[in-house]
């Protein structure tokens, strides 16, 4: 079972590495924050799995809980910081979502 848990943890690590693409190249700031938030959530899982591997879950579970709390507070603070309500009012948008066409995207 230990080998299986190690495999699961490695697979999560590989996928987190793929998510780092979104953190690095994300077109907008909030894309980066969302990807970082997902990585933080998976770090909580990784801490529990590492605890299972080391046969010391009782210690690592506390770390995981504290890390999850910090991650939540961090993403909430970032969301409040990047919420600029006046920008949408300045743009004078009628439709709630501005739409980007194929020509603009290139």
Partner 1 sequence: MSLFFDLLSGSMMITGLVFFVGTVTGMLRFPDFYTRMHAGGKGDTLSTILILLGAAIHVFEDFFYDPLQWGVLLVMVKILAIAAFIMLTSPTSTHALMRAGFEDAHEADETVVDKDQDGPSLEELQSGTWEERS
Which residue reads 């979502």 in tokens?
A: 97
Site string for partner 1, 51-80 (x = CB under 8 A): -x----xx--xx-xx--xx--x--xx-xxx
CA dist., res. 54 & res. 75, Å (int): 30
- Name the CA radius of gyration of the chain, rounded: 19
Residues 24-43 that bind partner 1 (CB under 8 A): 27-28, 30-31, 33-35, 37-38, 41-42
Smallest gap, in angstroms, from Cβ of residue 80 to partner 1? 7
Size of the site for partner 1 (CB under 8 A): 60
Count of C-beta atoms within a 10 Å radius of residue 64: 19
């Amino acid at each position: 079972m230990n080998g299986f848990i190690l495999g699961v943890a490695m697979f999560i690590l590989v996928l987190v590495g793929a998510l780092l693409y979104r953190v690095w190249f994300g077109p907008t700031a909030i894309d980066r924050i969302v990807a970082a938030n997902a990585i933080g959530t998976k770090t909580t899982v990784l801490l529990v799995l590492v605890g299972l591997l080391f046969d010391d879950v009782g210690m690592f579970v506390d770390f995981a809980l504290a890390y999850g709390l910090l991650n939540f507070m961090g993403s909430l603070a970032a969301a409040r910081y990047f919420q600029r309500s006046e920008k949408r009012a300045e743009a004078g948008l009628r439709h709630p979502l501005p739409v980007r066409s194929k020509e603009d995207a290139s």
